Amino acid sequence: MSNVLVINAGSSSLKYQLVDPESGDAAAKGLIERVGTSGGHLKHESGKQVDERDIDVPDHTAAVAAMREAIERGGITLGPDTVAAVGHRIVHGGRNFTEPTLIDERVESEIERVSVLAPLHNPAGLAGIRSAREAFPDLPHVAVFDTAFFADLPAPAATYAIDRTVTREHAIRRYGFHGTSHEYVSAQVARFLGRDDLRQVVLHLGNGASASAVLAGRPVETSMGLTPLEGLVMGTRSGDIDPGIPLHLSRVAGLDVDGIDDLLNRRSGIYGLSGHRDFRDLVSAKDGGDDDARLAFEVYVHRLVKYVGAYAAVLGGIDALTFAAGVGENSAPLRAAVLERLGFLGLTLDPHRNEERSGQARRVDSGEGLPAVLVVPTNEEWAIARHAVETART
Active site positions, annotated: 146
> Which residues are paired to 9 by β-bridges?
14
Q: Whole-number minimum distance, CB 232 to ligand AMP, in Å?
A: 13
| Binding positions for ligand AMP, rule: CB under 6 A | 206-207, 235, 278-280, 325-327, 330-331
Cis peptide before 371 (omega within 30 of 0): yes
Determine whether the annotation assigns residue 40 to a binding site.
no
Query: Cβ closer to ligand AMP: 12 or 330?
Result: 330
Q: How many CB atoms lie within 10 A of CB 326?
A: 18
Nearer to ligand AMP, 15 or 133 (CB): 15
Which of residues 140 and 206 has its CB atom nearest to ligand AMP in the complex? Answer: 206
Work out how close the CB of 327 gets to ligand AMP at its nearest, in angstroms, rounded to a whole number.
5
CB of 267 to ligand AMP, least distance (A): 16
User: Based on CB atoms, which residue is closest to ligand AMP, 21 or 206?
Assistant: 206
Q: What letter does residue 177 receive in the DSSP assignment?
A: S
Q: Which helix or strand (DSSP H or E) is residue 258 part of?
A: helix 257-266
Does 327 show up as a binding residue in the annotation?
A: yes
Annotated ligand binding at 380? The verdict is: yes
278 is in an annotated binding site: yes
For residue 223, give the DSSP letter. Answer: S
Residue closest to ligand AMP when measured from CB atoms: 326
Name the percent of the chain in helix, strand, coil, to the closest 5.
40, 20, 40
The answer to whether 145 is annotated as binding is no
CB of 119 to ligand AMP, least distance (A): 21
Q: Are strands 141-145 and 218-222 parallel, antiparallel or unpaired?
A: unpaired
Q: Taking the complex as a whole, how short is the minimal distance between the CB of residue 182 and ligand AMP, in angstroms?
A: 13
CB–CB of 141/100 below 8 Å?
no
SS3 for 83-142 is: EEEEEEEECCCCCCCCCCEECCHHHHHHHHHHHHHCCCCHHHHHHHHHHHHHHCCCCCEE
Kindly state the smallest distance separating residue 329's Cβ from ligand AMP, in Å.
8
Report yes or no: 352 and 335 within 8 Å, Cβ to Cβ: no
Query: Which residue's CB is nearer to ligand AMP, number 53 or number 280?
Result: 280
Name the residue nearer to ligand AMP (CB basis): 31 or 117: 31
Is 89 annotated in some ligand binding site? yes
Q: How many residues does the chain have?
A: 394
Ligand-binding site membership of 329 (annotated): yes
Residue 126 to residue 109: CA distance in whole angstroms: 9
In this structure, are residues 350 and 316 in contact, taking their beta carbons and an 8 Å threshold? no
Using an 8 Å Cβ cutoff, are 163 and 169 in contact?
A: no
Q: Give binding residues for Mg(2+) as ranges.
A: 8, 380
Q: Give binding residues for ATP as ranges.
A: 15, 204-208, 278-280, 326-330
Q: Give binding residues as ranges.
A: 8, 15, 89, 204-208, 278-280, 326-330, 380
